[in-house]
Amino acid sequence: MTVDADHINDIIDHVLYSKEDIQQMTKRLGHQLTKDYAGKDPLVVGVLKGAAFFMTDLVREMDVKMQNDFMDVSSYGDGFESTGKVKLIIDLQAEVKDRDVLLVEDIVDTGLTLKFMEDLISKRGAKSVKCCALLNKTARRINDVVVDYYGANVANEFVVGYGLDYLNEYRNIPYIGVVKPEVIKANA
Ligand code: IMP
pTM for the whole structure: 0.93
| pLDDT tens-digit readout, 83-98 | 678 889 999 999 999 9
CB 51 within 8 A of CB 104: yes
| Catalytic-role residue among 57, 106, 109, 165 | 109
Alpha carbon of 39 to ligand 1 centroid (Å): 32
The yes-or-no answer on residue 109 being catalytic is yes
Q: Are 162 and 53 in contact (CB under 8 A)?
A: yes
User: What's the pLDDT tens digit per position in 139-185?
Assistant: 989 878 999 999 999 999 999 999 999 998 999 999 999 999 999 88
Give buried/exposed letters for 89-101 (b at 16+ CB in 10 A, else e).
Answer: eeebeeebeebbb
Q: Are 47 and 105 in contact (CB under 8 A)?
A: yes
